[in-house]
Amino acid sequence: MGTRASELLRVVHENPDITRADAARRVGIGTGAATELVARLTAAELISERPAGPAGRGRPTTVLQPHPRGPLVLGVAFAHETWRAEVVQLGGEVVASDGDEQMAGAYGEGERILLEVKARLTRLRRRFRGRIRGMGVSVPGLVAMDRLVEASTLGWSGLDMGILWPNAPVVALGNDATFAASAESCRGAAVGAAVALHVRVDAGLGGALVESGRVLTGAVGLGGEFGHMPFAPDDVHCPCGARGCWGASLDGGALARLLGEPAPTEPVAYARRVVARAARAGAGSPEHDAVTAVAARLGRGIAGLVNAVDPDLVTVGGLGVDYLAAASRALDDAYLAGLMAFRRKDPPPVLAAELLEGGPVAGAAEEAWARLWPLLPT
C-alpha cells in the first residue's frame, strides 16, 4: 500500500471521527489528493464517509469513519487467572468480546488452555466472515522474537501461541505490561508524555518505559521486567529463580505472608479480596496494615525507577490501581521518601492507568493494527 494511504488510515485510526479536511492536513496533502485517496480507500472498503454534522457555514466536509465491511483485528490477553478477547475496528472501538472468565487449573496446562481459547476465537472469526485480519496476543510472561519464552507464574514455557490462529496473516505477541504501557500512551493517562513509566502489578510486576509514544522493549524484547529488581530483602523468593525481587514483595503471595495465610493459588483474585477485607475492617486491622505495607513497597520501588529513568509521569496498572485507591497515602509517602530530595518539590505524578484491566488487550490490538497497515490492499 502507498505510504500516504497507510498514513491516512493511521490518522483515521488515531483520531476517530476526524474530518477529511483535518486528515488531509495531518497527512500533508491537498484537497484534491485527499478526495482521490479517500475515494480509493472507500472503494477498497477500508473507510467510509459521512457528512460532518448539521450544515453550517463554510465549505462542507465529511467525517472519516471505519467502513461497515472494513478490516478488524483481534486482541487477546491472557492474565494469570483470566483471558479476554476483543474484536476492534479502525479507530479503536470494540465491536465484540469474549472471555473474561477464570482459567481453571491453568498452571502448567498452557496447551490445553490455548486449544480451548482457540475454539472460542475461531467462533469470533467466523462471526465476522473473514473481516478479522490480524491478531495481537498479550501474555503475562517473557516474550522474545515473537515467542513466549516463559510465563513462570503460569508454568507455561516455550509455547507456540500461533496455534490460537494457524496461518493468521498477522500475529503480534507481546508481554502484558509492555502492551499495557503502549496502550496507556496511545489512548490512556500517558497520552502526550515525553517519557512515561508504566508499572503493572498482576501475579508478577512488569512495565515499560515509553518515549514519545515508542515503547522501549530492549534488544530482544525482554526489557521492562522491573519486578525482578532486587528492591526486596533476600528472604523473598521469586518464581523467576532470583531472591529479593521487588514484584514478589508486593503481590498476592506477599499479602498472604504478611497475614500468615497459606500461599494463594489465585494470587490476583486473593489480593483483591484482601483489599476489600481491609476496606471493611478499617485502620488498625491486620488486612489494612498488610495492604498499607505492600502499597508502600510499590511507592518506594517507583521512586527508585523515577530516580533512575526520569519520566514526566508514572502510571500504575493491574493491582497497582487497587493499592493506589486503598492506600494512596502510604504509597505517596514511600514514593516521596524514596525520591532524591531535588525531585520532591515537583515529583512526577503517579496516576492510575485509565485503561485499567483493559490495557493489555487494547495494546495487543494496537500492535496488530501497527503491523497490518502496510499489508492492507488499496
Positions in the binding site for Zn ion (CB under 5 A): 228, 238, 240, 242, 245
Grid coordinates representing 362 are 487494547
Among the listed residues 109, 118, 112, the one whose alpha carbon sits nearest the alpha carbon of residue 154:
109
Collapse the DSSP code of 309 into the 3-class scheme (helix H, G, I; strand E, B; otherwise coil) and give the result.
helix
* Inter-residue contact 17 to 66 (CB < 8 Å): no
Nearest approach, Cβ of 245 to Zn ion (angstroms)? 3
| Minimum separation from the CB atom of position 142 to Zn ion (A) | 11
Grid cell, residue 274, equals 484482601
Please, what is the minimum distance in Å from the beta carbon of residue 226 to Zn ion? 10
Cell triple for 308 = 533512575
Q: Which residue has the cell 487497587?
A: 322
Chain position carrying cell 473481516 = 131
| Minimum separation from the CB atom of position 319 to Zn ion (A) | 16
Grid cell 503491523 — which residue? 371
The single-letter DSSP state of residue 109 is -
Q: State the burial class of residue 260 (Cβ atoms within 10 Å of its Cβ: 0-12, 13-18, 19+).
A: exposed
Task: Give min distance, CB of 147 to Zn ion, in A.
Answer: 20
Q: Considering beta carbons, is residue 37 or 298 the nearer one to Zn ion?
A: 298
Task: Identify which of residues 226 and 369 has a Cβ nearer to Zn ion in the complex.
Answer: 226
Q: How far is the CB of 275 from Zn ion (least distance, A)?
A: 23
Nearer to Zn ion (CB atom), residue 234 or residue 346 = 234
Cell numbers for 250, please give them: 508486593
* Residue 113 vs 154, nearer CB to Zn ion: 154
Closest to Zn ion by CB, 142 or 215: 142
Of 232 and 303, which has the nearer Cβ to Zn ion? 232
Closest CB 240 distance from Zn ion, rounded Å: 3
Name which of 96 and 229 has its Cβ closer to Zn ion: 229
Smallest distance, Zn ion to C-beta of residue 222, A = 13
Give the contacts of 102 (CB within 8 A, at least 6 positions apart): 81, 82, 266, 269
Distance in Å, CB of 282 to Zn ion, minimum: 33
Contacts of 318-322 spanning 24+ positions with Cβ under 8 A: 318/180, 318/200, 318/201, 318/202, 318/268, 318/357, 319/201, 319/202, 319/251, 319/252, 319/268, 319/271, 319/272, 320/199, 320/200, 320/201, 320/352, 320/353, 321/352, 321/353, 321/356, 322/271, 322/272, 322/275
Please say which residue, 78 or 226, places its beta carbon nearer to Zn ion: 226
In terms of CB distance, is 240 or 281 closer to Zn ion?
240
Cβ atoms of 86 and 74 closer than 8 Å: yes
Closest to Zn ion by CB, 138 vs 249, is: 249
* Among the listed residues 370, 375, 373, 374, the one whose alpha carbon sits nearest the alpha carbon of residue 182: 370
CB of 309 to Zn ion, least distance (A): 20
In the block, cell 473473514 appears at 130
149-to-165, 179, 209, 218 alpha-carbon distances in Å? 19, 16, 21, 15
